[in-house]
Amino acid sequence: MEQETTAITVLFTEFYYWVMIVLMFLIKVGFCVYEVAASRYKNRLHTLMQVTMHIPLVTLGFFFVGWWIYWAFPNGPGITGGLVSAPHAVPWSEFMGPHLGGADDPAGWARLNGVFWGAFLLFSWTVAAIVSTATIERIRSNAFWILAVLIGCVLWVIDAAWGWHPDGWMVQKLGYHDAYASGVIHAIAGGFSLGVLIPLGQRIGRFRADGTAREFMPHDPWLATIGLFIIFTGFWGFYAACNIPMWDVQSGDGVFFSATNIYLGPTTLSAITFNFLMSLSGGFLAGYLVSKGDPFWTYSCALAGVISASAGNDLYHPIQAMLIGVAGATIAYKAHYWVENRFKLDDGVGAVAVHGYAGCFGVIIAGFVLWGYPASPNPDYATISPLGQTAGAVIMFFVLGFLPGYIVANILKKFDLLRIPEAIELKGLDVGQEIAAEAAAKEIEEAEKTHNSAT
Amino acid sequence: MTTGNIENWAGEIAQIGAIYPFLGSEVMLFAIGAILWFGWFIVQGRMEEREYQEELNRADDKR
């Protein structure tokens, strides 16, 4: 840090990620608002606690093991090599606390470890929150939090080590490209949610005797859409945090600084600004038409539009991003209702579709639109291809998402730990708090009457 | 097979310009985008009119 230019680069990078963490808090706020609003009134407080308490649980899990997994698992291990040494990421490392770097840290990693950890942690919160939205109103909180730690501290981190790391084996061998996490966050979360929803089962009354679905309306549709709008705002931080703000991308001699994607390929903030807004717009426009102006689905489809284009939004032309957003949002909406009707799947907010199906579509379509592009500055790594991307989508959605979710949820179900009791589901999860609130109000009323009589 | 003009990132980065795929299709993309954009207004306008008619018919039936 003695060189001024090095110091400016390190301190700028440190500040950049710190600000993005703050912006990404809005994703969490949005999920809290949206999920509580989407639930029925009798379940709102428990829903709020379900989506809130995974924050500290996933935070601790990510400190204890998640960060180490990201750095240690790029080779599989056992696919392209063994475990990678990651001494800065083990929970007892000096670098996992306040550290000025000392004599052996010319790159300033001591200053960046915490903000980098924090940015990844916010991604972990996001992936767990997605699962929370799908499982509302009948999952036990304890079961959900176990599943949240599994997806947020282990599974998505493995997928990031494999496919969202400059030297991940999926990048090396498949040319996997997923700049803004269509697969590594959204497809895996959607697949995991689907795996949990099957053993979890439907909410009571969700389907009629003839098999058609009843719509469980959000108890506050206005608040649900505002929650989604807040998520869009936080998503800006997510996109910028997926980039590296400043990196020398010139190979060999010479220097050229640019923003890069996570794979160290050059891109710009202008590129993602164009493409985020155009894919959001494509999703909005398609969602409004297919849902006939339904507010909840119009906003959800806007999100699906961004998710669909995210895999390649570092490179697409904005109108390509818009068209991909239109297609992905339409697929998500149609697939949601097809699966619901065909398989009687009760997905509280369409999370499997908006994140899972749109995410998979996003990964696969990038294979066609970006066919032949280098997946990495390393010329020995595979290029982007439809086959590589499709294999990547299967790994994300099914291997690391659906299968573990299905297995662990079934284990929890076997020990009667997955679902709330039926009587509680019928009365409402907040029934205890409602009774306590009524009793407290009555006691205050009596106290006021006594006070009035005395005076 | 490649959709872009970037074979690798090993060359002179300063010489690289546009990085999006299907370079040269900008005018066509603009035309597609503009047609969809205008078309949305027409489709949505008709949808809205149908919705109002259905509501009015329902109101008439109740009377």
Query: What confidence tens digit (pLDDT) does each residue in A281-319 have?
Result: 999 999 999 999 999 999 999 999 999 999 999 999 999
pLDDT at B34: 97
Radius of gyration of chain A (CA): 23
Q: Residue A286: what pLDDT?
A: 98
pLDDT at A194 over 90: yes
% of residues, chain A, pLDDT over 70: 99
Count of alpha carbons within 13 Å of A212, Cβ hemisphere only? 3
Residue in A183, A140, A211, A193 with CA at minimum distance from that of residue A394: A183
Quote the pLDDT of residue A109.
Answer: 82
**Residue A26 near residue A234 (C-beta atoms within 8 A):** yes
How far apart are the CA of A376 and the nearest CA of chain B, in angstroms?
8
Tokens read off for A82: 């063994």
- Residue B13 has a pLDDT of 85
The 10s digit of each residue's pLDDT in A353-372 is: 999 999 999 999 999 999 99
In single-letter form, the type of residue at position A252 comes to G
- Assess whether pLDDT exceeds 80 at residue A108: no
**For residue A101, is pLDDT > 90?**
no
- pLDDT greater than 80 at residue A2: no
Over residues A335-339, the mean pLDDT reads 96
Q: What mean pLDDT do residues A122-138 have? A: 96
- Among A351, A25, A46, smallest CA distance to A185 is for A351
Beta partners for residue A394, in sequence order: none
Q: What is the pTM of this model?
A: 0.94
Q: Residue A431 pLDDT more than 80?
A: yes
Q: So what's the pLDDT on residue A1?
A: 64
Let me know: does A185 contact A126? Beta carbons within 8 Å.
Answer: yes
Q: 3-state DSSP call for residue A42?
A: helix
Find the mean pLDDT for residues A255-278.
94
Q: Does A253 touch chain B (CB under 8 A)?
A: no
Confidence (pLDDT) at A22: 96
pLDDT band at A135 (very low <50, low <70, confident <90, very high): very high
A250 vs B: CB within 8 A: yes
**Does residue A401 contact residue A288 with C-beta atoms inside 8 Å?**
no
Q: Model ipTM? A: 0.93
Mean pLDDT lowest among A229-243, A362-376, B5-19, B38-52: B5-19
- The whole-chain average pLDDT of chain A stands at 94
Q: Do B19 and A267 touch (CB under 8 A)?
A: yes
The pLDDT assigned to B41 comes to 96
Residue of B7, B12, B19, B47 to mutate, testing the A interface (most A Cβ within 10 Å of its Cβ): B19
